[in-house]
Amino acid sequence: MGSLGPLGRSAALAVLAASGVVAAFATIAPSPDAEILLSRTSSVEALPIPAQALLPSPASYIREERFQRGDTLAALLSRLGITDEQIPKLTQLRALQLLRPGYYVAADVSSEGKLYLLSFLTGRDTLVQIGPAGDRFLASEERAALYTQIAMKSSVIQSSLFAATDAAGIPDSVAMQLADIFGGDVDFHRDLRKGDQFTVLYELHHLAGRPVRAGKVLAAEFVSRGKAYRAVHYGNGYYAPDGSNLRKAFLRSPLEFSRVSSGFGLRMHPIAKAWRAHQGIDYAAPTGTRVRSVGDAVVDYAGPRGGYGNVVILRHHGQYTTVYAHLSRIAVRRGARIGQNDTIGFVGQTGWATGPHLHYEFRIAGQARNPFSVAMPAALPIAAQELAAFRAHAAPLVARLELLANSNLALLE
C-alpha cells in the first residue's frame, strides 16, 4: 500500500467508509491503512471524505457528552444513559483515566442502558474504544484517522486580537500562533489599533466529519497600522514571501501574549510619549503575567534594586541589554544562559510602582533607546539554493491570502 498516490489513498478511504466495516466510527484505524491515513494529517491538501454520520446499532442510540472540569466518571457515564449496574465496572478501567476535561465522549447504548461501545478522542490523537466482552469490558486505543482541511479566516480588530478571533470563530491556539509568528514585528500589547486586520490559513483536523482540533498556521497576513506583514510556514519557521525570516533577534514585546494580558494593550498611551517620560516602556498587566526574554541572553543581574523593585537585567549579543522591573517573582539566576521567549519572571509592583505593571528598557551600549525605533536584525533567510522550492510552496498560499483579504475588503466597502 505504500506506493499509493493521493488518489489511491482517497479511494482506499472511500472503500473503507462504504464497506460498513467501520460503521459506527468510520475513521477508526482498522488496518495498516491507518498509517497511511495518519500520515495525511500534516499534509496541506484536504482529503475529500464526506461527513460520516454515526450509525447506531438497532434498538440503540448514541449520546455524546462533554467531560467537564470537576466532573466524575460515574456522573458522565450516567449522563450517557449507561445503566447503574455497569458503571462500577467501567470506572475501574484504566483507559478511562485518559479522560480530561473538555473531551467529548460518545456512547452507543441500548434502550435498557447496556453499553455497546464507548469512544473518545484523546489529546494525543488516539481513539479510545471500550466495549463489552462477556461480562467484562475491554478497551483499545488506536491512532485516530484524522484528516486535515485548510481553514481560511479573516477578521478586523475592534478591541483586541482575541475579540477578533472569537468573532471569526478562530481557535485560541491559532490566535496564539499569530502572536508568535508576528512577534518580531508587532507588539501585540501595544501596536494593535482598531481597524487592523488579519487573514489566516490554518490546518483544521477532522474526525468523523467533525472538526476536532486546529493544527498549525500555514500562512497569514497581518495588517498593523496600514503595514502588511505576511508569513508562510516552511521547514521549521515562518518566512515572508521574499524568503526573509520573520524571526528576529528580539521580540517586540517582553510580555507573553495571552487572553488575560491582551485586553490591556489598547488602553496604553502613545508609545513615544510614554517612552520619553522615563526612558522605558510600561506594560500594564495583571500580577503574575509571564515576562519573557526578548532575545538570547546571559542574566547580568537578578534581584532587588531600589525603585526598580525586583529587576532582571539581560545581556544580549553585541551591545544590547534589556531591563525588566517591578517583578513580583524572579525566575532566573545571575549568570544563567537563556533563550528568546524563556520565562525570566512575573509581573508585579515591587519598588516604585503604583500598580501592577512591567517597566521595560532596551539599551544599546548602556544608553536607553526606544526599541520601536531600532531596526531588529533577523534570523537567517531561506538559503539561495532552496529559494525556488520555497517560492513554489509559498505562491499558492499567498494567492489564497490575497483572495481572502481582497474579498473581505470588498465586503467592507
Binds Zn ion by CB under 5 A, chosen from 282, 311, 312, 345: 282
Q: Count Cβ atoms below 10 Å from residue 45 Cβ, excluding itself.
A: 12
| Residue nearer to Zn ion on the CB measure, 65 or 282 | 282
- For residues 119, 123, 126, 130, the Cα torsion angle rounded to the nearest 10 degrees is -20
CB of 274 to Zn ion, least distance (A): 8
Q: Let me know: does 344 contact 324? Beta carbons within 8 Å.
A: yes
Number of residues that bind Zn ion (CB under 5 A): 3
Please identify the residue of the shown chain whose CB is closest to the bound Zn ion. 359
List the interface residues with Zn ion, window 308-367 (CB under 5 A): 359
CB of 267 to Zn ion, least distance (A): 15
Q: Count Cβ atoms below 10 Å from residue 180 Cβ, excluding itself.
A: 17
- Choices 168-176, 228-236, 281-289, 391-399; region in contact with Zn ion by CB under 5 A: 281-289
CA angle 167, 173, 174 (to 5 degrees): 60
| Residue nearer to Zn ion on the CB measure, 248 or 359 | 359
User: Is residue 198 classed as helix, strand or coil in its secondary structure?
Assistant: strand
CB of 250 to Zn ion, least distance (A): 19
DSSP 109: E
CA pair distance 390, 223, nearest whole angstrom: 23
CA pair distance 199, 178, nearest whole angstrom: 10
CA pair distance 131, 115, nearest whole angstrom: 7
CB of 393 to Zn ion, least distance (A): 44
Encoded one letter per residue, x for contact with Zn ion by CB under 5 A and - for no contact, window 97-126 reads ------------------------------
| Residue nearer to Zn ion on the CB measure, 159 or 279 | 279
CA pair distance 240, 233, nearest whole angstrom: 9
Residue listed under C-alpha cell 478511504:
13
Number of helices (H), then strands (E), in the chain: 9, 20
Joined together, the cell numbers standing for residue 366 give 548602556
| Residue nearer to Zn ion on the CB measure, 61 or 352 | 352
| Residue nearer to Zn ion on the CB measure, 191 or 282 | 282
Joined together, the cell numbers standing for residue 181 give 509568528
* Alpha carbon separation from 26 to 45, 78, 145, 147 (Å, rounded): 20, 25, 9, 12
| Residue nearer to Zn ion on the CB measure, 14 or 353 | 353
| Residue nearer to Zn ion on the CB measure, 260 or 353 | 353
CB of 355 to Zn ion, least distance (A): 11
CB of 200 to Zn ion, least distance (A): 34
Residue listed under C-alpha cell 517583578:
327
CA pair distance 217, 201, nearest whole angstrom: 6
CB of 269 to Zn ion, least distance (A): 12
| Residue nearer to Zn ion on the CB measure, 162 or 360 | 360
| Residue nearer to Zn ion on the CB measure, 81 or 309 | 309
CB of 330 to Zn ion, least distance (A): 18
Encoded one letter per residue, x for contact with Zn ion by CB under 5 A and - for no contact, window 357-386 reads --x---------------------------
| Residue nearer to Zn ion on the CB measure, 222 or 308 | 308
Q: Is 206 in the site for Zn ion (CB under 5 A)?
A: no
User: Is residue 367 classed as helix, strand or coil in its secondary structure?
Assistant: strand
List the interface residues with Zn ion, window 47-66 (CB under 5 A): none
Closest C-alpha to 330, from 345, 342, 315: 345
227-234 contacts: CB < 8 A, separation 24 or more?
229/182, 229/185, 229/186, 230/398, 230/401, 231/181, 231/182, 232/390, 232/393, 232/394, 232/397, 232/398, 234/382, 234/390, 234/393, 234/394
Encoded one letter per residue, x for contact with Zn ion by CB under 5 A and - for no contact, window 251-280 reads -----------------------------x
CA pair distance 240, 115, nearest whole angstrom: 53
| Residue nearer to Zn ion on the CB measure, 196 or 282 | 282
CB of 280 to Zn ion, least distance (A): 5
CB of 271 to Zn ion, least distance (A): 13
CB of 268 to Zn ion, least distance (A): 12
Residues near Zn ion, by CB under 5 A: 280, 282, 359
